[in-house]
Amino acid sequence: MLTLLTVAALAADPAWIRDQVDPARIEADLRELTGEAELADGTRLISRSVKHPQIERAERWVVERFEAIDGLTVWTEAFDTSTSPYELHNVIAELPGTDPALAPMVLMAHYDSTASLDDGWDASTDPAPGADDDASGVATLLEAARVLSTWEPGFERSVRFVAFSAEEVGLVGSFAHVAALEASGETVHLALAFDPVGHNPGDSDVLWFSYDARWVAEADAIEALAEDAVDIDVTGVDQDLFGGDERSDHFPFWEAGMPALHIGTFPLPPSYHTGEDTIDQVDLTFLTEVVILATSRASAEAEPLEQVGGCSCNHAGSGGLLALALAGVLTRRRRELG
């Protein structure tokens, strides 16, 4: 008989995940992605704008980081765009599950940046470090992938990490990605968009997420998990309360009827979409909690396997049992904006 203690020993346990997450790795990713530190080839990324020549180097950086993680399958996804003189690609990495028939659990962010609110900003030459928006999201994906890949028994459901390009010019990469999913007949189990998640306004330790009325159960689940998993307040808001939410890469999924949540901080910092969006805008302690939340949610939904008698075995919906256990002992009423 499976006990809650056994469930808690699985990779979905937030305590195990907290022990694996490394803030130093998160900071190192942020420093390189924002130009604070040199890359291996001695260059610095001053911009990730799709109109800047370094967008191609930024893409290679993301690919290289995912390829350095054992167990991931990594590929790029080209898409047509008139917004850039360069070839643009989404970067996709997947930790394969044991049951390919199951739709993947998806974590996503965008790696392009902008400083369009700066007077006279030239996208082709001027800096756009984009530390909070959205290097913080990319760093979340990378660290979550590192941690989940260390669970050697694996997962029943695949976990997919998608770093989109061209978000800042109209969600071009994510619309193309969802169109490709629809064309292939594929869907997703749940997608979580992290954009942006590094700034901690007023040291409030509050992480917001937006949900559509179709995904209330998903919203309830992440709030319940957050109570046990992290040391920040995680609060969901129905998108209709503030007139809709079309601002990030979750939106094409909503349009296609695929479950997704938009996770971010609010209010946005004064550095938003400016050259001042540098690494000092990111609260590393806060971002580490976001990573723990993302990894815990992905792990629970991916159905972690446990090593039993020399074989990797699924515990009859361990992620679901964990959710039920949490739901049974935790009650929480969603707070609404305003």
* Residue 252: inside a domain: yes
pLDDT score for 332: 32
Averages of pLDDT over each 10 residues, the chain, 338 residues: 38 85 98 98 97 98 98 96 93 98 98 98 98 98 98 96 98 98 98 98 97 97 96 97 94 98 96 98 98 97 77 44 34 34
* Residue 335: inside a domain: no
Domain carrying residue 119 = 4-329
Helix axes 23-33, 55-67, angle to 10 degrees: 160
* Residue 262: inside a domain: yes
* Residue 334: inside a domain: no
The reported pTM is: 0.90
* Residue 336: inside a domain: no
pLDDT score for 190: 98
First and final CA of the chain: distance in angstroms?
A: 46
* Residue 314: inside a domain: yes
pLDDT score for 83: 87
Q: Total domain count for the chain?
A: 1
pLDDT score for 12: 66
Place of tokens 């937006």: 210
* Residue 127: inside a domain: yes
pLDDT score for 177: 98
Query: What is the CATH classification number for the domain harbouring 323?
Result: 3.40.630.10
* Residue 338: inside a domain: no
